[in-house]
Amino acid sequence: MSRPDSLIADRYNVKDTEARWQKVWEDRGCFIAREESDRPKYYVLEMFPYPSGRIHMGHVRNYTLGDVVARYKRARGHNVLHPMGWDAFGLPAENAAIQHGVHPAKWTRENIAAMREQLKSMGLSYDWAREVATCEPDYYRHEQKMFLDFLKAGLVYRKESWVNWDPVENTVLANEQVIDGRGWRSGALVEKRLLSQWFLKITAFAQDLLDSLKTLERWPERVRLMQENWIGRSEGARLLFQVEGRATGLEIFTTRPDTLYGARFVAIAANHPLAAELAAGNPALAEFIAECNRMGTSEAAIETAEKKGFDTGLKAVHPFDPSRTLPIHVANFVLMDYGTGAIFGCPAHDQRDLDFANKYGLGYTQVVEPAADREAVAAQIAAGTAYTGDGVLINSAFLDGLAVEAAKAAAIDRIEAEGLGARTVNFRLRDWGVSRQRYWGCPIPIIHCESCGAVPVPEAELPVQLPEDVRFDIPGNPLAHHPTWKDVACPVCGKPARRETDTFDTFFESSWYFARYTSPTSTTIGFDRAAADYWMPVDQYIGGIEHAVLHLLYSRFFTRALRQCGYLNVAEPFAGLLTQGMICHETYKDEAGAWLFPTDVADGPDGRPVHAVTGQPVTVGRSEKMSKSKKNVVDPAGIIDGYGADTARLFMLSDSPPDRDLDWTEAGIDGAWRYVNRLWRMAATADLPAIDAPMPELGVEAAKLRRLVHKTIAVVGDDLDRFQFNKAVAHIREMTNALAELGAPAVDSDAAWVLREGLEAAARLIGPMMPHLAEEMWSALGQDSLIAETAWPEADPALLVEDSVTVAVQVNGKLRATIELPKNAEAALAERTALDQPQVIAALAGKPPRKVVVVPNRIVNVVA
RNA sequence: GGGGACGUGGUGAAAUGGUAAACACUGACGACUUAAAAUCGUCCGGCUUCGGCCUUGCGGGUUCAAGUCCCGCCGUCCCCA
């Protein structure tokens, strides 16, 4: 049986509608950004994706958030820049080449094309004319120039360095890419190797990067805190210990110079030059050092490993008391990169030192004593727990009686006075090693010459292009075994020389792409200076919390380095930052314990989940971040195909605040879909007065509803200003629920007039969130303009103030009644009305109130 | 081990120190339908003698008033180790 036409027309044709409006926006160039404008600029940016080939739910959330901001700011009269591009270098392209024989360039470009189409189906308001792909020479040539300029400015150096080597990926990993001693992607146990590496001097800006965090008021507090911890500023001293029987002393770094008299040993890193020297004549020590090198270099790996040491037999002389000597150990918990690679151990007041001293029988001396619980603290140390709290110095000669902070100052004063060392600020932050032994990255523009050393590629010869004819069937870096590419003449002496075959860390590209968007076709310095000055900084940056430290810190550094080299005029690239939460989903396993996709799971006959095909029982695990490995993923393409982009966008925005994790549920997407249809039906089927019909005399109900419409306009604006999208959705739903209760009023009634005003407001308010539906509603309401080009609605201030308010009446803080009072009623009237309430009289039981607190327009609290 | 965030119905969540649970999801019941879907309507924190009483992880405190502020626990998550 065929359905009547009215029922068919009852459904929103999402596919046709969304495609149609996308074409209208594109044809009209609604989202093209221009520099010349008398409106205030607003640069909104989402973290650009790696072109894996398909978008995932995290992208959908990220780009929906950005698009709401972009469309909202446009409607609010800003000149908006909202670009998109591709973080196109990286390992997956090479892995694809190795596994499937497809060239990384081809693989990447095809993925970009596929993902671009998927993003376009979301109806995002990007200026696609500004699209960039970092793997293209017209992009990466500029960062080669930047690198050479940084080199000239002294911000780049090359050094032999111990690195984390991932034996599976055949590459160097940054410390932060090593998690629990394993490569972040491969999961392979990381080894240490010594390699020549290029470094960017991020530490030159350490203090400024730290201090300027205070100015980033629109960043989440926790991201600032994480960066602060990462930079890790500590104040202390460097001082020289003499070593018995040797001419050269040993320089150590300490943050606790006050505890010098508690020193029981000196420990040096396995990579310390002294250790290497001693190991030459000591096979057992050499073996110990080799063992240390098998550990990762990360601090976490070192901390979790058992504390081990090797007594060198050498003795250090105590700098304040030459009659005392301290054994020098090589220890696996001392880092060569931190401070000087040597420490003194004060077991009583440092847990690591105490563990070490107890293990090797080195003893301890307590030198800090708290004001209270003296015996307890002494006993605690004896039992193996160091005391790190405040107190007064004991057993410490000239420091005795001083508090810890005063003692630190006094100790450093004496160290400086005696020429033993100096006050030092130390940072945990280390310079950024940018060399990667990889093909699919930006070539480092350097030529190695036997006579001239590392020589910059002359600027006229930039870009150094990646050769396309490379082989991936040999392990290691394809650039290194390319037959001819690396053979060049030295630019200085002309003799045969060799190109640098390492490429940049891919964080290099993402450290300046935001500037490239301001003028993506500029052929000069990577961007047009005037355009960058106009658009920068990014007003609102949106992305995942996982980039809280690395990408964001590198970008902050890079921008400073660019400024120092005269490229642009800002220090901070991102004035505002919003970090979105993860998308989570339930996990499913079959009886054998194998992960199942949500699409593999169906409801069984008894309502329990079963495998959709085999009917086997399925166990449902807790909701976790969507990941391919656990198969708890939902493909956005299928959702957009079935429900449309607006439904997916609405689901992303409603229910949870943007920075919180979001649970993807079928029920949730169905609920969003129902609301999309409901809104559409309301606009498409309403019988309304003409657009320009004058407002009739409004009855009480219609006037009340009209006030709600205007209040909603005001509050949704506030919600969006604060990125409280879930509340904006709730407030719009409240309004449309009230409009729906009108049913189908007569076309010439006051209710129908308010309904038109309300539906027009609804279309405009949902514009940033559900742009296709908004246009469709707007058009169904008889408008021939575009929501995308329509200003944000204005609430009539006169309608925002109520003439009467509901005031709560409490007795001893418990609610007893509510009363209606004129707005701003006098306290005396409020008090009198409250005391007249029967429930209040009953609660007082005849006794006079002791006190009455009146908060105007809010509450009356009667204290009995 | 250090630092931080969070803890509210069956679920996601609201609540400038001032009426806790807005807005949804799930569920139940009803209307329409031959039936189902869709849609619409009603109910949905707990207890209740139907007057009310209790309820924001636990225990204290500040306040006329605490989910919100302070202190101490417990738990979860994140970062650093």
* CA A156 from centroid of its chain's CA atoms: 26
Q: What is the pLDDT of residues A496-517, one digit of tens each?
A: 999 999 999 999 999 999 999 9
User: Rounded distance, CA A72 to CA A376, Å?
Assistant: 62
Of A636, A467, A765, A675, nearest to A114 by C-alpha is: A636
pLDDT greater at residue A304 or residue A401: A401
Which bases of chain B are contacted by protein, using any atom under 7 A from a CB?
1-5, 11-16, 18-20, 22-26, 34, 38-41, 52-54, 64-66, 78-81
User: Rounded distance, CA A259 to CA A257, Å?
Assistant: 5
Q: What is the pLDDT of residues A371-385, one digit of tens each?
A: 777 887 888 888 887
Give residue A385's pLDDT: 79
Give residue A40's pLDDT: 96
Q: What is the pLDDT of residues A562-601, one digit of tens each?
A: 999 999 999 899 999 999 988 888 888 888 888 888 888 8
pLDDT greater at residue A27 or residue A173: A27
N-to-C CA span, chain A? 72
| Interatomic CA–C1' length for residue A736 and nucleotide B43, angstroms | 22
Residues A516 and A142: beta-carbon distance below 8 Å: yes
A562-601 residues near strand B (Cβ < 7 Å): none
pLDDT greater at residue A376 or residue A704: A704
Give residue A690's pLDDT: 92
CB proximity A379–strand B (7 Å threshold): no
CB proximity A385–strand B (7 Å threshold): no
A161-190 residues near strand B (Cβ < 7 Å): 176
pTM of the model as a whole: 0.90
The yes-or-no verdict on residue A167 having pLDDT over 60 is yes
The yes-or-no verdict on residue A174 having pLDDT over 90 is no
User: Rounded distance, CA A205 to CA A159, Å?
Assistant: 19
User: Rounded distance, CA A205 to CA A219, Å?
Assistant: 20
Let me know the angle formed at the C-alpha of A588 by A583 and A589, rounded to the nearest 5 degrees.
145
Of A428, A422, A256, nearest to A337 by C-alpha is: A428
Give residue A328's pLDDT: 93
User: Rounded distance, CA A831 to CA A497, Å?
Assistant: 93
What is the band of A292 on the pLDDT scale with cuts at 50, 70, 90? confident
Give residue A309's pLDDT: 86
Of A257, A289, A263, A293, nearest to A276 by C-alpha is: A289
Catalogue the E-assigned strands of A386-525.
392-393, 421-427, 432-433, 435-436, 446-449, 453-456, 487-489, 496-499, 503-504
Three-state secondary-structure class, residue A447? strand
Q: What is the pLDDT of residues A630-659, one digit of tens each?
A: 888 889 999 999 999 999 999 999 988 999
Contacts (Cβ under 8 Å, ≥6 apart) of A66: A44, A45, A46, A82, A124, A540, A542
**DSSP H or E segment with residue A648:** helix A645-653
The yes-or-no verdict on residue A771 having pLDDT over 80 is yes
User: Rounded distance, CA A498 to CA A481, Å?
Assistant: 12
Kindly give the pairing relationship between strand A859-863 and strand A804-811. Answer: parallel
**DSSP H or E segment with residue A671:** helix A666-685
Q: What is the pLDDT of residues A80-110, one digit of tens each?
A: 999 999 999 998 898 888 888 899 999 999 9
The yes-or-no verdict on residue A136 having pLDDT over 90 is yes
Give residue A304's pLDDT: 57
Q: Answer yes or no: is A625 a known binding residue.
A: no
- List A520's β-bridge partners, or say none: none
A146-150, A424-428, A607-611, A791-795: range with lowest mean pLDDT: A607-611
- Give me chain A's average pLDDT, please: 89
State the average pLDDT over residues A399-405.
88
Q: What is the pLDDT of residues A438-486, one digit of tens each?
A: 899 999 999 999 999 999 999 999 999 999 988 887 777 889 888 899 9
The yes-or-no verdict on residue A676 having pLDDT over 90 is yes
Q: How many CA atoms lie within 13 A of A235 on its CB side?
A: 7
| Interatomic CA–C1' length for residue A684 and nucleotide B40, angstroms | 18
- List A104's β-bridge partners, or say none: none
What is the band of A5 on the pLDDT scale with cuts at 50, 70, 90? very low
A818-857 residues near strand B (Cβ < 7 Å): 818, 839, 851, 853, 855
Amino acid present at A629 = S
Give residue A602's pLDDT: 79
Residues A746 and A753: beta-carbon distance below 8 Å: no
Of A241, A418, A194, nearest to A340 by C-alpha is: A241
| Dihedral in degrees, nearest 10, Cα atoms A345, A350, A355, A357 | 30
The predicted complex's ipTM stands at 0.94
| Interatomic CA–C1' length for residue A815 and nucleotide B54, angstroms | 14
Give residue A2's pLDDT: 31
Q: Dihedral of CA A243/A249/A250/A256: which sign?
A: positive
User: Rounded distance, CA A741 to CA A729, Å?
Assistant: 18
Give residue A305's pLDDT: 64
State the average pLDDT over residues A836-863.
85
CB proximity A549–strand B (7 Å threshold): yes
Give residue A600's pLDDT: 84
A194-233 residues near strand B (Cβ < 7 Å): 221-222, 225-226, 229-230, 232
User: Rounded distance, CA A391 to CA A372, Å?
Assistant: 9
The yes-or-no verdict on residue A361 having pLDDT over 60 is yes
Do the domains spanning A234-427 and A804-863 agree at the CATH topology level?
Answer: no
| Interatomic CA–C1' length for residue A658 and nucleotide B74, angstroms | 29
State the average pLDDT over residues A672-687.
92
| Interatomic CA–C1' length for residue A607 and nucleotide B28, angstroms | 17
Residues A662 and A581: beta-carbon distance below 8 Å: yes
Give residue A841's pLDDT: 85
CB proximity A799–strand B (7 Å threshold): no
Q: What is the pLDDT of residues A139-157, one digit of tens each?
A: 999 999 999 999 999 999 9
Q: Does the domain spanning A14-133+521-582 belong to CATH 1.10.3720.10?
A: no
CB proximity A193–strand B (7 Å threshold): no
- CATH superfamily, domain at A634-799: Isoleucyl-tRNA Synthetase; Domain 1 (1.10.730.10)
Q: DSSP states of A271-305 as a string?
A: TSHHHHHHHTT-HHHHHHHHHHHTS-SSHHHHHHS
Which residue's CA lies closest to nucleotide B41 at its C1' atom? Answer: A741
State the average pLDDT over residues A30-41.
92
* Helical H segments across A153-272, by residue range: 206-211, 221-231
Q: Which nucleotide is nearest to A731 (CA to C1')?
A: B23
Q: Which nucleotide is nearest to A333 (CA to C1')?
A: B81
User: Rounded distance, CA A343 to CA A328, Å?
Assistant: 10
State the average pLDDT over residues A316-327.
91
Looking at domain A234-427, its CATH class is alpha beta
Looking at domain A804-863, its CATH class is alpha beta
Give residue A7's pLDDT: 37
Domain positions in chain A are: 14-133+521-582, 145-201+433-504, 234-427, 584-625, 634-799, 804-863
Amino acid present at A345 = G
- List A330's β-bridge partners, or say none: A268, A310
CA distances from A138 to A133, A456, A464, A619 (A): 9, 19, 11, 51
The yes-or-no verdict on residue A3 having pLDDT over 60 is no
Q: Which nucleotide is nearest to A550 (CA to C1')?
A: B79
A286-315 residues near strand B (Cβ < 7 Å): 298-300, 302-304
Q: What is the pLDDT of residues A102-135, one digit of tens each?
A: 999 999 999 999 999 999 999 999 999 999 999 9
Tokens standing for residue A484: 């001819």
Rounded to 5 degrees, what are φ and ψ at A226?
Answer: -65, -40
Q: Name the percent of chain A lying above pLDDT 90.
A: 52
Which residue's CA lies closest to nucleotide B15 at its C1' atom? Answer: A727
The yes-or-no verdict on residue A806 having pLDDT over 90 is no
State the average pLDDT over residues A2-12.
45
| Interatomic CA–C1' length for residue A668 and nucleotide B42, angstroms | 23
CA distances from A269 to A177, A335, A337, A339, A731 (A): 22, 5, 9, 11, 61
Other C-beta atoms closer than 10 Å to the C-beta of A636 total 23
CB proximity A741–strand B (7 Å threshold): yes
Tokens standing for residue A682: 């309301």
Residues A180 and A229: beta-carbon distance below 8 Å: no
